[in-house]
Structure 1
Amino acid sequence: MGNDNRHNGLRQEEIEGAPPVVTGAEFHQQRLTETVTVNRHLYQQTRQLEQLLLQQGELLGLFETLLVSLPRHFGFRVAELWLHDPEDALDEIIVGGERYGSYLQLHRDGFDMQELYPVDPVFQCIDATDSRMFEILKSERGIDQALLLPLMHKTHLFGSLHIGMQENALPTGEEESTLLEHLAAMVSLALVQGIERQQMQHLAMLDPLTRIGNLRSFLHEMIREVSRARREDGPFTVLMLEVDEYDELHESYGEVRGHFVLKKVAERISSRLRATDTLARLSRSRFAVLLPGANESLGEDIAERMRVDIEDFAIDDGHGAVLQVTLSIGLATWEPQQFPAVDMAQLARQMESVSTRALADASAQGGNCTAVSRLATLLV
């Protein structure tokens, strides 16, 4: 039977064998005095890694932290990151990820990733007897154990971080496991935010009509490419392109077909460029192509092949009309040995100005031709 007690004027029934009733003050005091024991080194290293993650503003910086800094930080052998990318959205926005080789993998199919974890993905520590060791870190040798950290966004598994290590390299008691689960949550949050920022930056530099770079992207890439040309002491060429008589085409066929032509021209040019080249749409009917490593002779050859290809390109608008357009192309080349430069931003502006002047010369000649304009003495 229960005992009849009264507390604050209210009748309470105490059940025999039950834990004693704890007041709010007693419960608060218990919480203040409760402690857990966790490996100090792991705790300190985890806190420091969290700080590194919080300091990274760009996605590439997060990759550097996870794939390079993390193994060194904890004394592990290696780290590998899988990300689910079913629509190639990450592949489109990640620039420079190839430097990590197989340690950064984008998976269209999430099945292999799901197979690494139970139905509800949780932190795992596996050893050489586990078959999953044959699926991860395939390029590595001398790994006795691996940590599998599921990367979650809400309830969705969007990635998996794999850490290879030697046997007994890490304490894995209950509290250490909880700490590593917390680390996985921090990595997940940092990556989700980094991906969202990268997507926003990508969209800000994308022309909505043609889905290639816009003017902002062009100026950014120009500075980067002239800086690269200076480091490598190699040539760099800019092509400025204009679709001839586009205003007349737009007036005769309307905005829809005019935009269709621009999209097809952009697709055609892009499909024939080298992997290192960059195409951008600068304005209504003007494009630019950046050709790293191309001297004036090679740049002119590329420009002429491009011009002839577009001249022969029949554009079927899907409504019974076949449209054809031509290009005027202006070319400017910078060779570091001939024109030394220090201010890369100023040089980029001069390259844009000189190639635009060459484009005006090509248009003045009636269009459908390539004109070359050379840099004068550089005051940079």
Structure 2
Amino acid sequence: MDQASTTQEREWIRLSKQLRDNERIWSGFRQIEVRMIGSPSLPDLIDIITLGIPETFPGIDCVTVACADPEYEMTRLIEAGGAPDSGARSFVAIPRETLDGLFTRPWRPRLGPVDERLHALLFSNHPCASGSVAVTPLVRRGELIGSLNQGSRDPRHFIPGIATDLLEHLAAVAAMCIDNSINHERLKLDGLTDPLTGISNRRFFERRLAEEVERWARRAGPLVCMLVDVDFFKQVNDQYGHQVGDRVLRQIASLLGQDLRGSDVLARYGGEEFVLLLPGTTPVQGAAIAERLRSRIEHSAFVIPEGIDLDVTVSIGMACLQPGVDSYGPDPAVWLFKQVDAALYQAKEAGRNRVIQAVVS
């Protein structure tokens, strides 16, 4: 084999190894992202970030999360839910002015050797951050809320000039999940979350309905409301017990919650009824969404512990407030919900497992 062929073979081997390494890295990032997005609470999320990243990526020896926490809200939540040797020891409540001093606009990761000040600030419980660190800003809704900090014993693991796309992407997902977790915990503390399904409860829905109807009255666009009822749910409880019924309700809540926008509302209205509020959605769009939800539930697998598949369907009533219409009476919110309730009744009377849209004369 001549020298040129040998050089080509070595280059091919190098590129193949690089591709395998890149795929492994991307696979690890995807796994961490999925776990973060599915985390049930803020303490679990911090554990996934601070313990999961070192477990997934060789060369990263420790991870901490620092956030501005002036009211110690996050600190209390993490201490209340974290085990003594969990990721709770890796959360740092950092003063706002200190956080602002870590980065300059545009906010970009800081990579390089660790100095005593940075170590004391972000890695005080982690002597393993002795070689190099990556300090990546956590930004949510245009605001710097904290930093994701990774440390290595290797002085050359994080060096200035290397690509930071993956670090920034992971930090963006982490910031979103932290923000969502805090909001979820606030809802629970305010008594606005259904304890069984983890989604909003009737009280929260009624509050949001009043807000959205007020916004609609200012000509903010159409407002769709849906009422979803699980067909023959009493038979599930009677035949298989309430534990199976609870599992069905939790799964339906999860299925209904897929693909919702940030402005949408999903709540458990009571018993086996769920309600959705979709601002800025036309009747045609709402009907398509309702049909998609109905079909999704009909074709989903509901498996009870004995391994039996349950056939679960829902009936959906839907109505819409249209912009520029003044014929909804003195209380459009009451009118809207009466129409939704009547449409749901028609869907059940017509044989269930269907969507009925209120027809307004």
TM-score by length of 2: 0.51
Give the Cα–Cα distance (whole angstroms) in 1 for the partners of residues 254 and 243 of structure 2: 17
Q: CA deviation at 1:340?
A: 6.2
Return the match for 1:82 from 68, 74, 86: 68
The alpha-carbon distance between structure 1 residues 352 and 137, as it changes in their structure 2 partners (threshold 3 A), is: farther
Match in the other structure for 1:135: 102
Give the Cα–Cα distance (whole angstroms) in 2 for the partners of residues 202 and 341 of structure 1: 35
Q: What SS does structure 2 have at the residue aligned with 1:331? A: strand
Return the match for 2:239 from 252, 257, 263: 252
The alpha-carbon distance between structure 1 residues 357 and 200, as it changes in their structure 2 partners (threshold 3 A), is: closer
Cα offsets for 1:195-239 (capped at 9, x unmatched): 9xx947744221111111111111111111112223343100001
Match in the other structure for 1:359: 344
Would you say how many aligned residue pairs link Structure 1 and Structure 2? 211
Q: What SS does structure 1 have at the residue aligned with 2:266? A: strand
The alpha-carbon distance between structure 1 residues 217 and 330, as it changes in their structure 2 partners (threshold 3 A), is: same
Match in the other structure for 1:192: none
Summarize the alignment of residues 28-177 of structure 1 with structure 2, pairs less than 5 Å apart: 82-83=68-69, 113=92, 134-136=101-103, 138=105
Match in the other structure for 2:196: 209
Query: Which structure 2 segments of 5+ residues have no match?
Result: 1-66, 79-86, 108-143, 145-181
Give the Cα–Cα distance (whole angstroms) in 1 for the partners of residues 97 and 278 of structure 2: 48
Asked if the contact 2:329/2:335 (under 8 Å) is kept, the reply is no
Return the match for 2:314 from 324, 327, 332: 327
CA RMSD of aligned residues (A): 3.5
Give the Cα–Cα distance (whole angstroms) in 2 for the partners of residues 334 and 258 of structure 1: 33
Summarize the alignment of residues 149-298 of structure 1 with structure 2, pairs less than 5 Å apart: 199=186, 202-298=189-285
Q: What SS does structure 1 have at the residue aligned with 2:239? A: helix
Asked if the contact 2:318/2:340 (under 8 Å) is kept, the reply is yes
Which AA in structure 1 matches 2:352? Answer: G
Which AA in structure 1 matches 2:342? Answer: R
Q: CA deviation at 1:272?
A: 3.0
Q: CA deviation at 1:109?
A: 7.9
Cα offsets for 1:316-373 (capped at 9, x unmatched): 2343122231010001000121336695xx2111111110000000000010001111
Q: CA deviation at 1:268?
A: 1.1
Query: Which structure 1 segments of 5+ residues have no match?
Result: 1-80, 91-107, 118-123, 127-131, 141-161, 163-194
Match in the other structure for 1:191: none
Asked if the contact 1:296/1:333 (under 8 Å) is kept, the reply is yes
Cα offsets for 1:154-212 (capped at 9, x unmatched): xxxxxxxx9xxxxxxxxxxxxxxxxxxxxxxxxxxxxxxxx9xx947744221111111
The alpha-carbon distance between structure 1 residues 82 and 279, as it changes in their structure 2 partners (threshold 3 A), is: same
Cα offsets for 1:11-52 (capped at 9, x unmatched): xxxxxxxxxxxxxxxxxxxxxxxxxxxxxxxxxxxxxxxxxx
Give the Cα–Cα distance (whole angstroms) in 1 for the partners of residues 287 and 200 of structure 2: 22
Cα offsets for 1:75-131 (capped at 9, x unmatched): xxxxxx8127769969xxxxxxxxxxxxxxxxx9886846x68xxxxxx998xxxxx
Match in the other structure for 1:370: 355
The alpha-carbon distance between structure 1 residues 112 and 366, as it changes in their structure 2 partners (threshold 3 A), is: closer
Give the Cα–Cα distance (whole angstroms) in 1 for the partners of residues 329 and 350 of structure 2: 35
Q: Flag the structure with larger Rg.
A: 1
Q: What SS does structure 2 have at the residue aligned with 1:239? A: strand
Q: What SS does structure 1 have at the residue aligned with 2:295? A: helix
Give the Cα–Cα distance (whole angstroms) in 2 for the partners of residues 87 and 261 of structure 1: 34
TM-score by length of 1: 0.49
Which AA in structure 2 matches 1:208? Answer: P
Q: What SS does structure 2 have at the residue aligned with 1:282? A: strand
Match in the other structure for 1:9: none
